[in-house]
Amino acid sequence: MGEGRKEILETIEKTGSINKTSKLMKMSYKGVWSKIKVTEQYLGRKIIHADRRDGSRLTSEGKVLLEKYRILKARCLEEDNRCFSDIFEK
């Protein structure tokens, strides 16, 4: 999980569409779909529910993954700030 996949998941959640997500992110549909499938295979669970009629949305596992990534990024930023202060403000 990284910033690119985070953006894919957030955009799918907003648009309800993998196709719209690929266009907004200036990626191919296949590229977006590949990143989703690789992530799902790695985790061993579905993160996107895609339906031609109903569109696409994050599964509960996808929502948890996105939230955990946000928490990770916030904690990393806090730690970066602490390290910076320790090194440069002494």
Whole-angstrom distance, CA of residue 67 vs CA of residue 65: 6
Give the DSSP per-residue string, 41-76.
Answer: HHHTS--EEEETTTEEEE-HHHHHHHHHHHHHHHHH
Q: Does domain 3-88 have CATH number 1.10.10.10?
A: yes
Q: Global pTM?
A: 0.83
Residue ranges of domains in the chain: 3-88
Condensed to tens digits (0 to 9), the pLDDT of residues 35-87 reads 999 999 999 999 999 988 889 999 999 999 999 999 999 999 999 999 999 99
CA–CA separation, 22 and 8 (whole Å):
8
The pLDDT, as a whole number, for residue 90 is 66
CB 50, CB 8: distance < 8 Å: no
